[in-house]
Amino acid sequence: MAEDLALHALGESEMKRHVIVGEPFDVKVRVIEDPTKSEDGLARNVITFAVIGLCSIFLLGAACLGVMTSNWTPLQAIWSVVGPLFGTIGGYYYRSTRA
């Protein structure tokens, strides 16, 4: 009885397989969602967007400092660290999906 409740709760689908040799048979497939997968994806997105936001704030601050003092060295220094980080994150999120 517990197994019947579990099958009903998890979802069960019956599929017909096309068998070339022999008789067709029914296959029951259980679909189980991995609860940690969505939590990991959410945590990764939060961390990624926090890093992007923090780096953007540093870039904006360095740009304002550069405008006020006409010294662009801080902006160049921050961009040398943040630029590759943005490129890595952008490459991960906007990668090519060619088959």
Tell me the pLDDT tens digit for each residue of 42-94.
888 889 999 999 999 999 999 999 999 999 999 999 999 999 999 998 888 88
**Residue 9 and residue 31 in contact, taking contact as beta carbons nearer than 8 Å:** no
The ranges assigned to domains in the chain are 35-93
Range from 11-25, 26-40, 45-59 that averages highest in pLDDT: 45-59
pLDDT greater at residue 5 or residue 35:
35
Which pLDDT score, from 0 to 100, does residue 37 have? 66
Distance CA 61, CA 47 (A): 21
For the chain, percent helix, then strand, then coil, each to nearest 5?
65, 10, 25
For 80, counting Cβ atoms within 10 Å of its Cβ (0-12 exposed, 13-18 middle, 19+ buried), the class is: exposed
- Which tokens hold the place of 27? 């296959």
